[in-house]
Amino acid sequence: MKKEELIAKAKLRVRKTSKDILDEDVGQLVEVALADLKRIGVHPSYLEKLEDPLIVEAALVYTKANFGNPENHNELMASYDMICTKIKGGGYHRSRS
């Protein structure tokens, strides 16, 4: 999956169907999530090909938690943290090949 496709999925996750200036915010949140995954040691091969379901879900949950002002922000961030914990222990610091 390309980054643009991930951003489109993130827009659906936050229930944003119209095209407007807020699309940039969704895209920025996806970028921040991917940068955070890189920060915790995810190998670039996982962040370039965006096929692994844990990586994709981490980006989507992070976006949902931080777009607008959701009532369940704390729960979503706890979910994101749990996914990151699974990623940290799952060998994602090594190349996919």
pLDDT tens for the 97 residues of the chain, in order:
999 999 999 999 999 888 888 889 999 999 999 999 999 999 999 999 999 999 999 999 999 999 989 999 999 999 999 999 999 988 898 887 6
Q: What Å distances lie between residue 90 and 38, 46, 62, 81, 83, CA to CA?
A: 14, 12, 19, 14, 10
For the chain, give every domain's residue range. Answer: 3-88
pTM of the model: 0.91
